[in-house]
Amino acid sequence: MSAQAPDQAPRTVSEPPYLYPAYGSTRLRAPSRPLVHLRQTLTELSGPVFGSERIGPHDADLTGQHGGEPQGQRIVVFGRVLDSDERPVRNSLVEVWQANAAGRYAHEVDDHPAPLDPNFSGIGRCLTDAAGRYRFTTIRPGAYPWRNHPNAWRPAHVHFSLFGTAFVQRLVTQMYFPGDPLLDLDPIFNAIPDPKGRERVMARFDIHETVPEWALAYRFDIVLRGRQATPFETTDDEA
């Protein structure tokens, strides 16, 4: 089998840099010394496993976590989590968080003067299924101002946190919506250097997955680095 160890799998050419001065918070937080290349070991090829005990009954339906329905456009956000060899990443924890329809997070440090929604916490989690699929029901988040530069607004987005099956696959990213006029102006999105990379954090509207008379649907497929190997077997790389 010609499987590649994650160590040698093609790296995304479109990772953002640490230092991206247009995103002001990177200036004092970006490492300034070169990274040290680490040949992957068991430490990086293994990773935590979480089961259904981490998932509550309403965790995949962000519109059903309170007594009433949240304000906003109901949407389904769904997709597959794959590794770079297109193998499904199974039974893996997916966590999401987002602003409400008015662009406000249910978070103590968010002081944007837009209304909180008592029926929306904006937090979801689920496990991928045997085909690597996940699915959330939520509302479309609003844009919000963030003071990075004069009149700065974040485009609408949903935050994603993924574990995959190995430490090396750990990923935190954001999903954006097609056609958002704020994307061109957003330094976080534009820190991804090439257009193909930016395309990979864009959801796609999917009419087939809409729920008639109920909700629109957006597909967001996620590709994690490396193959889904049993981390404790000898790989070509280690031979």
- Residues annotated as part of the active site: 105, 144, 154, 157, 159
Rounded distance, CA 89 to CA 223, Å? 9
168 scored as a contact of another protein (CB under 8 A): yes
* Rg of the chain, C-alpha, whole Å: 19
- Say if strands 74-83 and 133-139 run parallel, antiparallel, or are unpaired: antiparallel
Contacting another protein within 53-72 (CB under 8 A): none
Name which of 35 and 207 has its Cβ closer to another protein.
35
Contacting another protein within 93-152 (CB under 8 A): 95-97, 99, 105-110, 121-123, 125
CB of 212 to another protein, least distance (A): 30
CB of 177 to another protein, least distance (A): 14
Residues 179-198, mask of contacts with another protein (x by CB under 8 A) = ---------xx-xx---xxx
Determine phi and psi for 231, rounding to 5 degrees. -65, -15
Q: Is 151 left (phi over 0), alpha (psi -120 to 50) or beta?
A: left
Beta carbons within 10 angstroms of residue 215's beta carbon:
18
CB of 201 to another protein, least distance (A): 6
